[in-house]
Chains A and B, each alone.
Chain A
Amino acid sequence: MIEVVYALWRRDMIKFLRDRRQLVTSLSRSFIWLLAFGLGLRSSVRIPAGGADYVSFLVPGLAAMTVLFGSMFAAISIVWEREFGFLKELLVAPVPRGAIVAAKILAGSATALIETVVMLLLSPLVGARFNPLGALASLPLLVLFGMTVNALGIIVAARMKSFEGFGAVVNFVIQPVFFLSGALYPIAGLPRGLRAIVLVNPMTYVVDAVRGLCIGHHAFPLLLSTAVVVVSALILAALATRSFSRMEA
């Protein structure tokens, strides 16, 4: 069982490392935000508490964004594999469905982690300043968040009939989670309605915890944020296994 999970995980890793386009796409996405948004707004945005500059404030949010996009796309690849064959080979193999889901989740979060680490390493080039040890300490949280997102992606993928629904996923899942998370702005002082939405989004807690560890600016206790991430990862992983098992080829 563990060997099968490892073999399937390794397959996704090999493909990720062989095809660098995914990494380049992910990096360019982060750096467009850092350059256009971070540098563009740096002089006019003042972060109330802590006094961090906007580029450094943005980096933890973009680290979580990198995980969000990377891990979600990795999960949606199931739709592609179902439509063009390889998934069938897995489904007729004597492999528990849970093992396939576990491998997907572990690989999706691992590749997203690689993307995030490269982004964090390069971000000082555009003027980001953060505590490197804090960044290191936030990696486990980002991995957990990657698993959560990947599990959500599997649930979405199991319901998608074809790859044509991909645009809708970006529009109605990825973008709301990203924009309503505090990745781009502090959550203190948000209008009440918006704040309520932001507070039920697990990504908010990931961003807050990572920001706390990296630049010392956070709204919730680290323990609460960690608990939210762990619980949402567990719930979504269970739901992902269930929807994947029910999916017909």
Chain B
Amino acid sequence: MTAAIEVVDLKKSYDAVEAVRGIGFTVGSGEIFGFLGPNGAGKTTTIKILCTLLQATSGTARLAGLDVAASPNEVRRRIGVIFQDPALDDRLTAEENLMLHAVAYRVPRAERHARIDESLQFVDLFDRRKDLTRTFSGGMKRRLEIARGLVHRPDILFLDEPTTGLDPQTRARTWEVLRGLREKYGTTLFLTTHYMDEAENCDRIAIVDHGTIVALDTPAALKQRVGKDLVAARTADPAGLSRLLSEKYGLASTPADGGLTFLVEQGDAFIVKLLTTDRPPLEGISVRRPTLDDVFLSLTGRQIRAEGAEGTAAKIRAMVRRRAG
């Protein structure tokens, strides 16, 4: 079986800035593959190159065996793209948007209506098909875009930050739709995100920072790499506990609200050990497995935050969020 996506040493520079500095990876057919990283890491640039919207400075990218630079039209026919910013014509109805797409992708005339209806039902928007999309909420627009991406049955669906700016319920619903998509049509999904919990939905994740892949594995394996669990202890005497941890176990701890936190291997066993030792009184103690946040932190020394925006629309969205929040 040919790989759905095959990228070798991909680079892209804008003037003096190197946005992508030698990225390489392979995505299998039917896989859900995620690019995780902060804004400005090169995620959107990579997706644009794969979707034939940008020319790479060097390196190759093949989709279903086709070179994106050499045969862009062949590639375009096989992919669907859902952009970070809605790319709907908001003065057309939901149905009209999908029909335009069906014609552009040369869906056979006889099948168009059936496919459009099926896609709209799949994302639960069939009842709103005659409404102008400008009357839709953000979540509905995103679902409509997913429906549109399905009309021509692409082999690979690209999603750039598919749930940014959506509320948690809508995000969960969007993911139900995406997983259903893979089950029903075997579609390969390639997505970018800076949400850790969203990355958990992927089969494999490439963690991207400053234009390179710093790690690539399944979410579970990535978390295992951190190797340690995070223990949070509540105590009235954090200084005393901190001294005990460093002197007796050689563990560094960080002060936290009402106590402290520290990283340790096999946290559950360590807690038992700690409880049976002579120690300052504890009010509570918890242990949790590392999250992808901790993975990113351990790999890059920084936390992923939605800092800096990638475009005007992102800025506007951020502004709206600030006002709403």
Contacts and interface: CB of A to CB of B under 8 A. Distances in A.
A85 B105 contact: no
A85 B87 contact: yes
Contacts of B271: none
Contacts of B86: 85
A11 B92 contact: yes
Given A92-B53, A92-B81, A86 B104 contact: no
B104 A91 contact: no
B48 interface: yes
Chain A interface, DSSP helix/strand/loop, else mixed: helix
Contacts of A3: 103
Interface string B48-92: 100111100000000000000000011011010101011111011
Interface in A38-85: 83-85
Interface residues on B, range: 20 to 34
A24 interface: no
A85 B52 CA distance: 16
Contacts of A189: none
Contact of B76 (A85, A87, A93): A93
B296 to A, nearest CB: 29
B191 to A, nearest CB: 16
Contacts of B89: 11, 15, 86
Interface residues on A, range: 20 to 34
Given A14-B96, A92-B51, A92-B76, A85 B104 contact: no
Nearest to B316: A84
Contact of B48 (A90, A93, A162, A249): A249
B91 A19 contact: yes
Given A249-B48, A249-B54, A83 B104 contact: no
Nearest to B76: A94
Interface in B74-124: 74, 76-77, 79, 81, 83, 85-89, 91-92, 96, 99-101, 103-106
B277 interface: no
A91 B92 contact: no
Nearest to A88: B87
A215 interface: no
A14 to B, nearest CB: 7
A94 B85 contact: no
Interface of B: 48, 51-54, 73-74, 76-77, 79, 81, 83, 85-89, 91-92, 96, 99-101, 103-106, 148, 312-313
Given A19-B91, A89-B101, A94-B77, 16 more contacts: A3-B103, A8-B100, A11-B100, A84-B85, A85-B88, A86-B87, A86-B89, A89-B83, A89-B87, A92-B76, A93-B76, A93-B105, A94-B74, A94-B105, A95-B104, A249-B54
| A-B complex: 5 closest residue pairs judged by Cβ atoms | A85-B87, A94-B76, A93-B104, A89-B87, A7-B103
14 contacts: A11-B100, A14-B96, A85-B87, A85-B88, A87-B87, A88-B83, A89-B88, A89-B148, A91-B53, A92-B51, A92-B79, A93-B76, A93-B101, A94-B73
